[in-house]
Amino acid sequence: MNGLENPLGDHATGRWRQDADGSVTLLRTQGMWIRHQATSPFRLQSPGLAPVLVFLFNGATRAADRKPCPRGAFTLLPPGTPMTLQSAEPVEVLTIAYAHARQAPRAWPQGPSEPALIDAGVRALAHEIRRVLLREKESSRAYLEGLAEATLVRALQVLGAPRSPRPPVRLAPINLRRVCEHIDSRLDERITVAELAAVAGLSRGHFSRAFQAATNETPHTFILLRRLDAVRRRLEEGYADLAHLAAQTGFSSHAHMTTAFTRAFGVTPRDYRRDHVAELRQAS
């Protein structure tokens, strides 16, 4: 194909081809490749000679960093970006390479788009391309080319559209107080973020963000700090059984409590209690 050197690693010679088992269907025209792959492991090696759009009909996990790519996600590889995409997990993929779009539009994104972009317009167009490619085949070539062009236009529109910032999730003071009271009343138990979110009446994700915004600490760090503060107060009261104190404040062992306390206060619990008692004697 003019200006495009097998961007999909496919060596088809005709305009339309389908593997005997129906796993791969390819339409090659003068201006583009439109390739549908049924659910199976996927690998795409793009030399970067032309833009390539990849759409996932089902979810997958990125091989590079194990991050999830949800169903309906797409990515756009601009020209000049050689890249290999692959998934060992079975995925159904639509891949479109645009040979004629190598010099246009002028303002391509720098580097590949995010691998998990989702847009209703791109999704609708991709599903229609799949339907026509598999059922109507080459007889609807002009229509398929138009759909593919529209998909690229829409993808670029999504990439260029300003993204509205996520509205901040706030934790009402009364809910923050309830969460703190819940933590303090259960220091000797295992406390999960999910149960704290339920106390606050928020989803787990929203709660974590709102709690950190309100306290400048993650829930896990905040719980640890409350446990350490409880240990410090009881040591100042003269509590001597450190193993029992560790259990009462939610630490897995005396050693665990000692390590966390020393890291936070720069002194072991035993030495902290001794120094505090000495200070009290001097003051009296």
Residue 5 near residue 52, CB atoms below 8 Å? no
Residue 210 has pLDDT above 90, yes or no: yes
> Among 129, 128, 126, which Cα is nearest to 154's?
126
Rounded distance between C-alpha atoms, residue 250 and residue 269, angstroms: 15
Residue 76 near residue 109, CB atoms below 8 Å? yes
Residue 227 has pLDDT above 80, yes or no: yes
pLDDT bucket at 103, cuts 50 / 70 / 90:
very low
- Average pLDDT across the chain, whole number: 81
Sign of the torsion angle spanned by Cα atoms 264, 266, 271, 272: negative
Instruction: List, in order, residues 6 or more apart from 196 with CB less than 8 Å away.
Output: 179, 182, 183, 207, 211, 219
| Measured torsion, CA atoms of residues 144, 148, 151, 153, in degrees rounded to the nearest 10 | -120
> Among 131, 140, 211, which Cα is nearest to 172's?
211
pLDDT bucket at 18, cuts 50 / 70 / 90:
confident
pTM above 0.75? no
pLDDT bucket at 67, cuts 50 / 70 / 90:
low
Domains and CATH numbers, the chain: 16-160 (2.60.120.10), 173-283 (1.10.10.60)
pLDDT bucket at 11, cuts 50 / 70 / 90:
very low
Q: What percent of the chain has pLDDT over 90?
A: 39
Residue 52 has pLDDT above 60, yes or no: yes
